[in-house]
Amino acid sequence: MRSLGAPAVAAVAAVLLAGCGLGLGGSPTSTHSAPAPARAAAATATARLRATVARAQRTHEIPTPAPAQKALGGWRSPVQAVQVFAQWYINWTADTVATHLRVLSQAAIGQARSAMTLAAAQVGHDSSIALGGIANSGAVEAIAPVTGQDDVYAVVTRERTTATHTSAYQGLRPGWHVTLATVTEVDGGLWTISGWQPEN
């Protein structure tokens, strides 16, 4: 939702009311009498509009539905979706990390898309990754459904971070990581990631 100031709310309310052919008093501006069903529909529309305007004046927000998200493709099974997504997420270099995150954001929906988009933006502003020649590599070691949670999988990875231009990661041993991945079925019976929550 977008936050609006009080003048903007009043202006939007006026446009909404005018666009529906209603005066500020709520009566039709036309002099022709409408059939009863049309009058009932107009009254219902007016009531809804007034409720929307009242809420906008109270909260300074206009309620708008979230746009539908479409994933760029998908995978044949939930496990395959988690496997491929995780491999792309953990294997990158300083030159490829931003691209990997942007591709993952387009392949995902919901919270996972937001997380990947935000991470890509943060990486784009972090010069230390490129300056240090930092890279991450790893393998997906296990994927299992989480008991009692539909379409949620625990994915276990073993990863190692290295750097070519700094000693900060010298001698760092590979580490184990757990992430909770939520999968969602999309068009054509394919699956994609809708939630991505690293636990450590």
Tell the residue number behind the tokens 């005066």, with chain if given: 23
Least confident stretch, 26-35, 69-78, 138-147, 156-165 = 26-35
4 falls in which pLDDT band (50, 70, 90)? very low
Q: Which residues contact 146 (CB under 8 A, 6 or more apart)?
A: 152, 153, 154, 180
**Per-residue 3-state assignment (H helix, E strand, C coil) for the chain:** CCECCHHHHHHHHHHHHHHCCECCCCCECCCCCCCHHHHHHHHHHHHHHHHHHHHHHHHCECCCCCCCCCCCCCECCHHHHHHHHHHHHHCEECCCHHHHHHHHHHHCCHHHHHHHHHHHHHHHCCHHHHHHCEEEEEEEEEEEECCCCCCEEEEEEEEEEEECCCCCCCCCCCEEEEEEEEEEECHHHCEEEEEEEECC
Q: Residue 17 pLDDT > 50, yes or no?
A: no
Domain ranges of the chain: 6-59, 78-198
Q: Residue 111 pLDDT > 60, yes or no?
A: yes
Is the pLDDT higher at 11 or at 150? 150
Averaged over 114-126, what is the pLDDT? 94
- Name residue 131's amino acid: L
Cα–Cα distance for residue pair 85/62, rounded to 1 Å: 36
User: Which of these, 54, 66, 89, lies nearest to 159 by C-alpha position?
Assistant: 89
Averaged over 108-117, what is the pLDDT? 96
User: Which of these, 163, 192, 197, lies nearest to 179 by C-alpha position?
Assistant: 197
Averaged over 83-87, what is the pLDDT? 98
- Name residue 176's amino acid: W
Q: Which residues contact 25 (CB under 8 A, 6 or more apart)?
A: none
32 falls in which pLDDT band (50, 70, 90)? low
Q: 78-198: what fold? A: Nuclear Transport Factor 2; Chain: A, (3.10.450)
User: Which of these, 192, 181, 173, lies nearest to 69 by C-alpha position?
Assistant: 192
Q: What is the dihedral of CA 96, 101, 103, 106, to 10 degrees?
A: -170
Instruction: Determine what percent of the chain is predicted with pLDDT higher than 90.
Output: 58
Q: Residue 88 pLDDT > 80, yes or no?
A: yes
Tell the residue number behind the tokens 């490129």, with chain if given: 130
